[in-house]
């Protein structure tokens, strides 16, 4: 049985909880920590989508009130990806995280094929670090700061910063690195005085935070397309029969997002391609795409993620019938 398991902090990354456990036990071997937590020393210290969670839960004391759903929903990045995955794939990902099927997780989530990379470093907000230390005596890795595309802390509207801890490194793949040992002291600064850029990044980060706190948003990809089609029609970018004005959509997208923003987010749009990611979102619902692509389109259509997912999936241009 695992003793000294720390109580999680709000929005604390599962990796961070493991790092605090590792600091408490102070084993001489990093793999000894991995073996105790996951039942094998071959499991890796994964940041975004960890696995072997069923073994960990089985080893926790009965009074800990932990279950796999709580860990996945509140302390991993799966809720960030879930709304844009078909239910069967989400269910399989959930099963893989519970079991020892870790190597397939990133492929099944579509991260291996995406041009949007996972962060190379564990990241932090300087203001969050200060507040954590003042409130609880130590800082920790916040889940929201590790989500791809989150460049601004949605709590403090400050840029998130890279720590000295590699997110994916052969030398540290079995090591849980404590936030207190890796955050870098730095004065907060804004994004080069570009207020429009900061506002868009803040809006995307706020949407990511909302998604992380939602449950049961996974749906068939065709339902996502229906939501887009309704909104496109409302904005005059398509007919209610579904014929999209591609040129007007691209024009609206270009006006909203500067090329430097899309480069920063690794979401460049090749308008000369017949099948770029924006076109695929509205025309071809059969392939899952990165959450950041969806969030950019949702904002381009004048909505937040919260409004979008509460939007009806069927268009009623003449209202409800008698």
Q: Is residue 203 part of a domain?
A: no
Domain boundary among 130, 155, 181: 181
Q: What is the pLDDT of residue 59?
A: 93
**Residue 53 to residue 55: CA distance in whole angstroms:** 5
Q: What percent of the chain is modeled with pLDDT above 70?
A: 91
Which one of 99-108, 180-189, 230-239, 300-309 scores highest in mean pLDDT? Answer: 300-309
22 shares its domain with 170:
yes
Name which of 65-69, 76-80, 83-87, 200-204 the model is least confident about. 65-69
Q: Among 163, 173, 153, 156, which residue's Cα sits nearest to residue 119?
A: 163
Q: Among 248, 238, 253, which residue's Cα sits nearest to residue 301?
A: 253
177 shares its domain with 35:
yes
Q: Among 156, 158, 149, 160, which residue's Cα sits nearest to residue 190?
A: 158
Q: What is the pLDDT of residue 312?
A: 65
* pLDDT band per the 50, 70, 90 thresholds, residue 35: very high
19 shares its domain with 155:
yes
19 shares its domain with 145:
yes
174 shares its domain with 266:
no
Q: Is residue 285 part of a domain?
A: yes
Name which of 39-53, 98-112, 150-164, 207-221 the model is least confident about. 98-112
> With 90 as the cut, is the pLDDT of residue 148 above it?
yes
| CB-based contacts of 212, cutoff 8 Å, min separation 6 | 11, 77, 79, 80, 143, 144, 147
DSSP states of 65-124: ---HHHHHHHHSSHHHHGGGS-HHHHHHHHHHHHTT-GGGHHHHTTTTT-SSPPPSEEEE
Mean pLDDT for the stretch of residues 57-69: 86
Q: Among 143, 242, 153, which residue's Cα sits nearest to residue 198?
A: 153
Q: What is the pLDDT of residue 206?
A: 98
140 shares its domain with 247:
no
DSSP states of 240-281: TTS-B-HHHHHHHHHHHS-HHHHHHTT----TT-TT-HHHHH
Q: What is the pLDDT of residue 240?
A: 76
Mean per-residue pLDDT over the chain, rounded: 88
3 state DSSP class of 12: strand
**Residue 125 to residue 151: CA distance in whole angstroms:** 10
Q: What is the pLDDT of residue 30?
A: 87
177 shares its domain with 29:
yes
Q: What is the pLDDT of residue 184?
A: 81
Q: Does the reported pTM lie above 0.85? A: yes
Mean pLDDT for the stretch of residues 237-257: 90
> With 90 as the cut, is the pLDDT of residue 211 above it?
yes
Q: Is residue 272 part of a domain?
A: yes
Please give the residue that has the higher pLDDT: either 171 or 18: 18
Q: What is the pLDDT of residue 318?
A: 42
**Residue 212 to residue 196: CA distance in whole angstroms:** 25
Mean pLDDT for the stretch of residues 240-247: 85
* pLDDT band per the 50, 70, 90 thresholds, residue 313: low
In the chain, % helix, strand, coil (3-state, to 5) comes to 50, 5, 50
> What's the domain range around 261?
219-309
176 shares its domain with 225:
no
283 shares its domain with 230:
yes
**Cβ atoms 197, 185 nearer than 8 A:** no
274 shares its domain with 169:
no
277-283, long-range: CB < 8 A, 24+ apart: 278/249, 278/250, 278/253, 279/246, 281/225, 281/228, 282/225, 282/228, 282/229, 282/232, 282/244, 282/249, 283/244
Domain boundary among 135, 161, 181: 181
Q: Is residue 292 part of a domain?
A: yes
Q: Which residues of 120-140 are buried (b: 16+ CB within 10 A; e: fewer)?
A: ebbbbbbebbeebeeeeeebb
**Cβ atoms 19, 7 nearer than 8 A:** no
DSSP states of 203-222: HHHHHHHHHHT--S----HH
Distance linking the first and last C-alpha atoms of the chain? 63
> With 70 as the cut, is the pLDDT of residue 227 above it?
yes
Task: Provide the number of structural domains found in the chain.
Answer: 2
Q: What is the pLDDT of residue 37?
A: 93
Domain boundary among 120, 153, 181: 181
224 shares its domain with 301:
yes
100 shares its domain with 155:
yes
Q: Is residue 314 part of a domain?
A: no
């Amino acid at each position: 049985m695992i003793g000294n398991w720390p109580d999680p902090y709000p929005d604390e990354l599962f990796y961070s909880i493991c790092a605090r456990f590792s600091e408490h036990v102070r084993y001489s071997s990093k793999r000894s920590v991995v073996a105790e937590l996951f039942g094998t020393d071959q499991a890796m210290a994964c940041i975004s989508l960890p696995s072997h969670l069923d073994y960990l839960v089985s080893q926790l004391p009965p009074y800990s009130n932990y279950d796999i759903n709580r860990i996945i929903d509140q302390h991993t990045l799966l809720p960030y990806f879930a709304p844009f995955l078909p239910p069967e794939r989400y269910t399989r990902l959930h099963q893989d995280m519970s079991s020892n099927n870790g190597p397939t997780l990133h492929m099944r989530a579509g991260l291996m094929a995406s041009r949007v990379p996972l962060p190379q470093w564990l990241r932090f907000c300087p203001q969050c670090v200060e507040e954590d230390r003042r409130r609880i005596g130590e800082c920790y890795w916040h889940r929201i700061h590790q989500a791809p595309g989150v460049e601004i802390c949605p709590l403090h509207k400050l840029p998130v910063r890279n720590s000295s801890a590699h997110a994916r490194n052969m030398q540290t793949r079995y090591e849980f690195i404590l936030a207190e040992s890796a955050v870098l002291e730095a004065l907060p600064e804004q994004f080069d005085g570009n207020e429009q850029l900061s506002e868009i990044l803040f809006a995307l980060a706020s949407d990511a935070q909302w998604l992380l706190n939602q449950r049961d948003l996974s749906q068939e990809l065709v339902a996502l397309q229906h939501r887009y089609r309704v909104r496109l029609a409302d904005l005059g970018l398509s007919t209610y029969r579904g014929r999209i004005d591609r040129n007007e959509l691209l024009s609206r997208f270009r006006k909203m997002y500067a090329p430097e923003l899309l480069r920063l987010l690794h979401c460049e749009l090749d308008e000369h391609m017949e099948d770029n990611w924006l076109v695929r979102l509205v025309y071809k619902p059969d392939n899952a795409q990165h959450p950041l692509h969806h969030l950019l389109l949702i904002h381009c259509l004048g909505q937040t993620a919260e409004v979008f997912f509460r939007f009806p999936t069927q268009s009623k241009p003449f209202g409800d019938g008698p």
